[in-house]
Every structure is written in C-alpha cells, then in structure tokens.
Amino acid sequence: MDFTTLCIHGSKDKYDNTGAISVPIFQSATFAHPGVGQSTGYDYSRLQNPTREHLEKTLAALEGGIDALAFASGMAAASALMELFQPGDHIIGSDDLYGGSFRLFRHISQKNGLTFDFVNTSDLKQIEAHLKPQTKAVFIETPTNPLMKVTDIAAVAQLTKKHNLLLIVDNTFLTPYFQKPLALGADIVLHSGTKYLGGHNDTLAGFLVVADKTLSEKLRFIYKTTGACLSPFDSWLLIRGIKTLAVRLERQQDSALKIAHWLTQQAKVKAVHYIGLPSHPDYQVSQKQGTGFGSMISFATDTESTAVRILERVRIIQYAESLGGVETLITYPMLQTHADIPEEEREAKGIHGRLLRLSVGLESPDDLIQDLEQALK
C-alpha cells in the first residue's frame, strides 16, 4: 500500500460496527470482562485502548516496524527508553541533540547510573574512539536539532551490529515519509509526535517503534509499569494528523527550499543550515538515505541584535517553541530549546545568540519571505 493511502486508512482493524469513517474515541479508563478469566482484549487503558492501538499499528506500519508504543510526550518516550539500561551502562549520543534529550541524559539518566559521551556521530571514527566494554547503545538525531547535521544511519548500523549495540534514531524531523531508520539498520525509532505526526500544534505525544519482538516485549513491560501512555483523545488527534502527513510534508518542504535559497542571498544572514541545499556538507548522505529533506532550517545572522530584531518583528511567523505544525514558528535555541546546555558547550557547538531555527509551515512561502524581509530591515 502506498504511504499516502496508509496514512489515511491506517490499521485495517475495525473497532465498532457502526460504519463510522473516523476511528471512535474510546474514552474509557477500564473495560468490562465478559466472564471470569475472559477478556475483550482490553482491560485497562494504561495497558491498551482501542483508539491508541489503531494509532500504534498505523505508525508501526508507516515506519516498517512490528510494534509502536504511543506515549504522553516525546520526553516520556525517551525516559521509558532509558529504562532498558542498567546502572553502569554507557551510551554514545550525537553532540548536537535536542536540549530536552540532553537534559534527560545529563540530569536524570546519569543520576540513575548511566554514563554518556556526546560526539559528532557523522564521523564514525569518533563513535569508534568512544566505545567501551560498557557501551550498550548509540543514540542519534539525524538531522540534528538545531544545526541540521546528518548521520549516515546505515554506516552507524554496521558499526553497532558489529559490536552488538542498540542503534536508536530520533526521526522527528523527517518522519517515516522522508526517512525510515529501521530499514537502514536501526533498532529503535523515537518520535516526538507533537511535531510533524500531529502536525497542528494542538497535542503532545511521543513514540517508540521497533522491529524486534524481544525489544517490543521489554518496552511493553516498561510501558505498562511506568504508565506514561497517550490518552484516547490525544491518540485520536494523532490519527487525524497523520492522515495529512504526506501532503503537509511535501508542501512544507517545497516552501522550506524556497526560503532557504532566499536566506542564502541576504547580507545579514551569514550561514544557512538546510539539508536540502546542495551546499550542505551532508547533502549527498541525505539524498542516499532519505526521500526528502524536510522543512527545518536554522540560520545565523550577522549580529545578535539582528536575531533579536527578527524575533520581535515577525508578524505571520510566530516566535514560539516546537516545530512541525501547519503554522510557521521561529525559535531562539540559546534561550529556548537548548537553554539547559552550559553556555561554553553551546557556543562551541555553534548554538549562540545569532542562531535562529525556523520550522516552515503551510502558509504561502512568498508571505513568509516578505515577513522575514521586513523583519530583517
């Protein structure tokens, strides 16, 4: 089945006999048993709920996995993921991670006995140089947030399989429409479903997707025990959002490419990070492992005052955290998404007061360019 058709129709399972086109919202905490020792297949919504099950089966199919678990947020999914590991285990992560992931690893997971090294995962030699007997996993974002670095997933997968490590890929920026990490050798895919999968800036959600039964069973046990499951109504919002995922991403990508080209021509813009530009250092890797480039752009201005002026003067574009929705949002990573990273580390990575991140929505690209143009004056 074509990806677009699968987005619309999702799981083939039917959950009622009314003929309803929209999947029902089973807003119930618990389900009655037909008899002693009998079950309808649903007992308690923390374990499973028909609306959430439809969503999970849909996303598993879109990612090419055997199971997907829907969480109350992306960070809830990442937190559950860390429960796979034991005190003393070591994880190698991308050095340009989303600030929330960095905060979780540094301040929660390390407290619980895990250790981390953060390296440029685009460079296999750096990963190899940090391998230890205690290393259990490699955690990558590709492209990274906010500097849009790209990691060759298949190449890293060869390395992790050689050393019997888990490869975890945060696929939030590209979604399975543009990139399928499991097919490239990843073991676990992580999503903030709040972003492109939901697509409307109106709900929080997170996902883990796997292609291995043993991993599925381990994560399901963690899931039912810790309880950070997605509600039936939020599950329905994600089902609705995914129906338009393909058409949204195509339009957003077209607009992003137009805006990225325009930004490269502006005197007050000194660097543009968009993986769809042939000038991007990882352009060829992106072409090889994906079918598109997405709609996330970051760019550096000439001065910090120029960056602040843009944030305060945009009219259509909204200065807000998050990304992937129909509205175009601009973010100041230094003060928002990456505020918890120590200043010296931020500066060394290039996350400074001149860097802005743009999530291109569905507005007219010409209107967005005009908005940026007047803000730059």
| Marked catalytic residue, from 52, 149, 180, 195 | 195
**In the annotation, is 282 catalytic?**
no
Three-state SS sequence of the chain: CCHHHHHHHCCCCCCCCCCCCCCCCCCCCECCCCCCCCCCCCCECCCCCHHHHHHHHHHHHHHCCCEEEEECCHHHHHHHHHCCCCCCCEEEEECCCCHHHHHHHHHHHCCCCCEEEEECCCCHHHHHHCCCCCEEEEEEECCCCCCCCCCCHHHHHHHHHHCCCEEEEECCCCHHHHECHHHHCCCEEEEECCCCCCCCCCCCCEEEEECCHHHHHHHHHHHHHHCCECCHHHHHHHHHHHHCHHHHHHHHHHHHHHHHHHHHCCCCEEEEECCCCCCCCCHHHHHHHECCCCCEEEEEECCHHHHHHHHHHCCCCEECCCCCCCCCEEECCCCCCCCCCCHHHHHHHCCCCCEEEEECCCCCHHHHHHHHHHHHC
The residue from 15, 46, 212, 309 that is catalytic is 46
Q: Is the Cβ–Cβ distance between 356 and 376 less than 8 Å? A: no
357 is catalytic: no
Catalytic residue among 170, 187, 234, 282: 170
Q: Which two tokens stand for residue 337?
A: 């998404």
Task: Assess contact for 184 and 176: CB atoms under 8 A.
Answer: no
Is residue 195 part of the annotated active site? The answer reads yes
Among 98, 177, 196, 223, the active-site one is 98
Separation between Cα atoms, residue 208 and residue 226, nearest integer Å: 15
If one counts every other C-beta atom within 10 angstroms of the C-beta of residue 132, the result is 11
Separation CA 163–CA 47 (nearest Å): 34
Residues known to be catalytic: 46, 98, 170, 195
